Amino acid sequence: MVDFVMVGALVSLMFMAVIQLALVLHVRNTLIDAAASGARYGALADRSPADGAERTSGLIEGALGGEYAADVRSSETVVDGVRMLEITVRAPLPVIGLIGPQDGIEVSGHAPSR
């Protein structure tokens, strides 16, 4: 009986750790995809960098919630002689469920600018 409790607790802890890791990876991948999509949108001929940041915020709010879309910035950079639009997202790192330290993760997306 004691062995069952000890092994059961260990297996439960490992299961929850794997689930939490999957949630962190899901949040990170969603943020990266939204930043890249917003950068491509903002780099279009009839759009501005602010439009790309707004699109990124909308995608993140729809997928994860408003607290993850609170800090979205756009800037223009030069990479290897090519002008690029960069969308940067800083969001909480989910440590326990979706709760975690603010500005725990930073991702960016790039697209060639006009």
Q: In this structure, is the dihedral angle defined by the CA atoms of residues 49, 87, 84 and 37, taken in order, positive or negative?
A: negative
Residue 102: pLDDT band (50, 70, 90) is: confident
Query: How many independent structural domains does the chain possess?
Result: 1
Q: What percent of the chain has pLDDT over 70?
A: 100
**Average of per-residue pLDDT values in the chain:** 93
pLDDT at 85: 96
Place of tokens 């990124």: 56
- Beta-carbon contacts of 25 under 8 Å, excluding residues fewer than 6 positions away, are none
Region 10-34: mean pLDDT is 96
pLDDT at 79: 87
Q: Name the nearest CA neighbour of 109 among 25, 50, 44, 42.
A: 42
Region 63-84: mean pLDDT is 93
Residue with the bigger pLDDT between 100 and 64: it is 64
| Domain span including residue 39 | 2-112
